[in-house]
Chains A and B, each alone.
Chain A
């Protein structure tokens, strides 16, 4: 089980959190202008790296806020948690 450090509440057990996938995928600002390929890229295509991964977690049974975590997808070691940029409220 992971111990995940919520930037707002501190370190808690994994079962308090829910996973939000790859971080930094921004909603298109002008959806009408997007081609089918760009839509597919936004909706479905993922980096899915073997190694360092920036991802979103939600402290569902705590403060209920989204934040970012940098985690290694092989060792599962979490190197840091970070607050999302202002205006980015998560998925």
Chain B
């Protein structure tokens, strides 16, 4: 792999850009791998990268049924933060945030991580009590978090409507300054390129159709490109986790829902931070291209169709106009949906499964993007050592039997 650099850019410019290498190979699947990762999204590619880099396991394949980063990795609103209420979740997302902070250097790929701050607005006394509680919990866990008042919000975000006469007046917010946004495609491409350089085979257009077992042990996967043997299989297929689980005759506490987002036409810079509101149910930031990126809530019904209902979009648009009346005349360019697999406690499952050699990383619900590097990091550890890391011990599948749920609906229910 040729290292990207300013000098390389100049050299390729002089060569009329005819000598760029492909960022990763396009190999045919081998007969057998030490580890097969099912799902070539950000989490799966990160898992493969950390397996090779941290654990020295290079004989790894990532199987992707479409093209890498074409699922939820390319369909989210790119928000990164770690201000979760409960210690288990906060430490996991904080690990991820710390990895984000060095990711562009680590991967030698600009993931455009921009720590522009994330505001979570409060619109009622109870909202503000919850925010005070969450910020206090965050600080006890060593995360950066502050409570800001209405004047501070107005000073930082001039376009926002802080009028006391608003239907849902803004009383304050939590602010995580280290939070922000990243370029979602670049995260997938960066991890793919770095994993490929360490020997990982990235195999696209290869859908897994069955999980093969010998008694209680997994032996490989059946795919549209033939059978592939593997000592261990890690499944990271946001949205389709239940489908893969049913291939191994397992049941998961997951329901898949459409989650929608939309972007506006490009505008001049108008919003240089991320604003989220659970109460009015919307979240917004502005991309480097100038588009307003707006996220809606999930549709209530189960769905795999990568599209949702119009009333959900209308609801999110109304929420954004409530916060930013000036955006009421902005025209929307595109809308889309992704399929999120939602757990009853709004926390992921990163766990060994009852079948030996089979591991699942799923149930990230509406907020998986921010966890991409951290998720891959702990999942690689879980696969390589055949036991969970301290950071994901609490996210075992068994918590639904023991009752030790991690209720993150407050910090995760809507806004990501």
| A interface list, Cβ under 8 A from B | 1-2, 14-15, 18-19, 21-22, 36-37, 39-41, 43-50, 53, 55, 71, 73-76
Q: Mark B382-416, 1 if CB is under 8 A from A, else 0.
A: 00000000000000000011110000000000000
The 4 A-B residue pairs with the shortest CB-CB distance in the complex, in nearest-first order: A44-B253, A48-B242, A19-B300, A45-B251
Q: Which residues of A contact B311 (CB under 8 A)?
A: 1, 14-15
Cβ contact of A46, chosen from B242, B304, B309, B403, cutoff 8 A: B242
Within the complex, what minimum Cβ distance (angstroms) separates B153 from chain A? 32
Asked whether B300 lies within 8 Å of A1 as measured between CB atoms, the reply is no
A73 proximity list for chain B (CB < 8 A): 256, 302-305
Is B107 located at the chain interface by the 8 A CB criterion?
Answer: no
Q: Are A74's CB and B402's CB within 8 A? A: no
Interface size on B, residues (CB 8 A): 25
The listed residue (B256, B300, B302, B305) touching A75 by CB distance below 8 A is B305
Q: Is the interface of A mostly helix, strand, loop or mixed?
A: mixed
Q: Are B240 and A46 in contact (CB under 8 A)?
A: no
Chain A residues lying within 8 Å of B403, measured Cβ to Cβ, are: 36
11 A-B pairs with CB atoms under 8 Å apart are A18-B300, A19-B301, A21-B255, A40-B253, A44-B253, A47-B251, A48-B252, A50-B243, A53-B302, A71-B301, A74-B304
CA of A40 to CA of B403 in the docked complex: distance in angstroms?
8
Q: Contacts A1-B310, A14-B309, A19-B301: A48 and B255 contacting too (C-beta < 8 A)?
A: yes
Are B300 and A37 within 8 A (Cβ)?
no
Interface centre among A22, A39, A45, A71 (most CB of B within 10 A): A45
Which residue on chain A has the smallest CB distance to residue B299? A19
CB atoms of B301 and A48 under 8 A apart: no
Q: CA A1 – CA B314 in complex, angstroms?
A: 12
